[in-house]
Amino acid sequence: MFRRLSCCFALLLAAGDLAGATAQAAESEAVHSPRVTVTLVADHDTVAPGQRLDFGLRQRLAPHWHTYWKNPGDAGSPPQIELQLPEGASAGPIRWPGPERMPVGPAQSFGYSDAIVLPFTVTVPAAARPGTRFTVEAEADWVVCEKECIPEQGRFRLELPVATTPVPAGGEVADSFRAAEARMPQAPAWPARLQAEGGALLLEVDGAASGGTIKDAFWFPAAWGLIDHAAVQAVSADARTGRLQLALVRGQAFSPQAALDGVLALRRTSGTTSWYALTPAHAAAAAASDAPAAAAGFAAWQAALYAFAGGLLLNLMPCVFPVLAIKAGALARLAGHGARAVRRSALAYTAGVLAALLALAGTLLALRAGGAALGWGFQFQSPPFVVLTLWLLFATGLNLSGVFEVGAGLAGRGQSLAGRPGHAGSFFTGLLAVVVATPCTAPFMAAALGAALAAPVPVALAIFVALGLGLALPYLLLALVPALAQRLPRPGAWMQRLREVLAFPMYAAAAWLLWVLAQLAGADALPVALGGALLIAFAGWLGGRAQSAGDGRGARLAHGGALAAVLAA
């Protein structure tokens, strides 16, 4: 009897373990970050030959973070999934659940918060044999944003047993698929049309307002730029006729010949939201013209004001601390110089900031014209760019620490050269300030950039100039207010101590970029970055030894020919 009871107890334990394993069979191992947890999921625990089932990318986001819909709006980019399927299997595109609005000031993005599954249909090969396993592998990348955006990626593998009878998934996975299905845009039989008159658009949907329960409505265009994403969509609902009207503002990509696929979100008086897939017909195609000049002028000056305030606040963001540290050293070296020299250095720095921002604006606008939708800081989504910037900041730190000197021989060319302010160095420090600052988004700045990337080219360039003036303002004041130059402290031994202290923000910035690189390219990229930094340190040490051997007095750290002087004098 005892032996029989033991066997039964063991069988019960095995059944419980099997049930637990089955409950987790429909979800892959997770890719974690402080911002989001992502897995590959399936709506079945076991599959049958020839079956069509749903897989999906499941995202569980930390509070205040979001990812993006297929049309991200004024900023961001949608998730991308690349699948590796068994022979004979096939997969369809992502079926996008209805999005939410993500307003930041006057800018507007479209995406998801909290949790979402992005489903797609996979067909199991008819030749799959019961008793084997059906394996799906995926590589995915996504952008997750709060005040700043972090590109992330992951690899996933999900194996499902093949059986004669499929078994649906349960638990949280099933709940997540049901939540996504509840947000899927429905296809109502509502006639819809779009009337275009100048810069104004009128979307009319017959039958959408029947019942009189509409509290709010919003039109999400499937393609970028068809409408002004941030413009208010005035809603008019007639419960008697059932007609719903939305007043829209045309975007730069709008064309009477363009397809108008999109999603209409209706929020009811009960608090629930439903999404509907609509393709309005063009009811009229009036001559294209810009929005009224008064409205455009108001939007332009408001966006420029936001950009100026954002650029000023950007000086307080962590991304800019390394550049400010270099500028602090540059200001120290200007101590004792005349107001004219200080003014020229400040103007050169401002010119460098503006040149870099205009180059960045030109790149973004050119990519926008080609159909891409990139945003502020897009270059930091490139691992090679991140590595090069990391090495540059690390080398600057070594130089500030006195490991080596660059161009020390220039210091002996005469008293007149030794006293020059190094305007080229100030210009290139302005360039570096923009490069290093772009991962951060200060308050007001996201709104201004969103408006700039949706505005006509002259307005967009003016907004970027305002941003640059805000970023350069603290140093520019030295040029605008000559009396400030007279308040700089006199030269002394404190300058050398300050230079050595300022090396540590460089090292901290390099360490932060190493973390960014790991998020972009994974741990496999770290040996390359660290190996390159080691070679830079070794080369700097050899260079410093050679300089010391060539100067009987040792390395003269007080000379102004260091790398910091090139970048930030």
How do residues 92-106 score in pLDDT, each as one tens digit? 999 999 999 988 666
Position with higher pLDDT, 482 vs 85: 85
475, 426 contact by CB (below 8 A): no
pLDDT for 298 = 38
pLDDT for 128 = 94
Position with higher pLDDT, 466 vs 325: 466
Among 64-68, 207-211, 565-569, name the one with the lowest average pLDDT. 565-569
| Cβ count near 420 (within 10 Å) | 13
- State the pLDDT confidence band at 550, using cuts at 50, 70 and 90: low
- The DSSP result for 216-236, as a single string, is EEEEEESSTTSB-TTS--EEE
pLDDT for 96 = 97
Among 64-78, 422-436, 505-519, 531-545, name the one with the lowest average pLDDT. 422-436
pLDDT for 296 = 38
Position with higher pLDDT, 51 vs 526: 51
pLDDT for 129 = 94
Domain 26-182 identical in fold to domain 192-285? yes
- State the pLDDT confidence band at 159, using cuts at 50, 70 and 90: very high
Over 90: is that where the pLDDT of 421 sits?
Answer: no
219, 277 contact by CB (below 8 A): no
Residue ranges of alpha helices (H) inside 264-379 are 293-314, 321-334, 339-369
pLDDT for 118 = 97
pLDDT for 397 = 77
Tell me the three state secondary structure of residue 288: coil
- State the pLDDT confidence band at 568, using cuts at 50, 70 and 90: very low
Mean pLDDT of 68-91: 91
- State the pLDDT confidence band at 411, using cuts at 50, 70 and 90: very low
pLDDT, averaged across the chain: 76
- State the pLDDT confidence band at 500, using cuts at 50, 70 and 90: confident
Percent of the chain clearing pLDDT 70 (strictly above): 68
Q: Regarding the domain delimited by 192-285, which CATH topology (the fold level of the hierarchy) does it fall under? A: Immunoglobulin-like (2.60.40)
The segment with the largest mean pLDDT, out of 97-111, 154-168, 431-445, is: 154-168
Position with higher pLDDT, 409 vs 488: 488
- State the pLDDT confidence band at 67, using cuts at 50, 70 and 90: very high
Mean pLDDT of 543-555: 65
Q: Taken in order 332, 338, 341, 346, is the CA torsion positive or negative?
A: positive
Reported as a single tens digit per residue, the pLDDT across 363-403 is 777 765 655 545 555 555 668 877 877 887 788 778 777 78
Q: Domain 26-182: what homologous superfamily?
A: Thiol:disulfide interchange protein DsbD, N-terminal domain (2.60.40.1250)
Percent of the chain clearing pLDDT 90 (strictly above): 29
- State the pLDDT confidence band at 460, using cuts at 50, 70 and 90: confident
pLDDT for 417 = 28
pLDDT for 221 = 92
Reported as a single tens digit per residue, the pLDDT across 212-269 is 788 899 999 998 878 888 888 888 888 888 899 999 988 777 777 666 789 999 998 8
Over 70: is that where the pLDDT of 423 sits?
Answer: no
Over 90: is that where the pLDDT of 139 sits?
Answer: yes
pLDDT for 569 = 37
Helices (H) and strands (E) in the chain, counts: 15, 21
Among 124-128, 283-287, 484-488, 550-554, name the one with the lowest average pLDDT. 283-287
Position with higher pLDDT, 74 vs 252: 74
Over 50: is that where the pLDDT of 407 sits?
Answer: no
Query: What are the structural domain ranges in the chain?
Result: 26-182, 192-285, 293-568
d(CA 144, CA 142): 7
568, 326 contact by CB (below 8 A): yes
Residues in the chain: 569
pLDDT for 412 = 33
Burial class (CB in 10 A: 0-12, 13-18, 19+), 227: buried
- State the pLDDT confidence band at 554, using cuts at 50, 70 and 90: very low
pLDDT for 29 = 95
Reported as a single tens digit per residue, the pLDDT across 145-157 is 887 778 888 999 9
Among 31-35, 157-161, 484-488, name the one with the lowest average pLDDT. 484-488
Tokens describing residue 35: 């911002």
91, 85 contact by CB (below 8 A): yes
Over 70: is that where the pLDDT of 7 sits?
Answer: no
Question: In Å, how far from its chain's centre is CA 412?
Answer: 47
Tokens describing residue 61: 């986001």
Reported as a single tens digit per residue, the pLDDT across 310-342 is 777 776 655 555 655 656 555 555 555 566 777
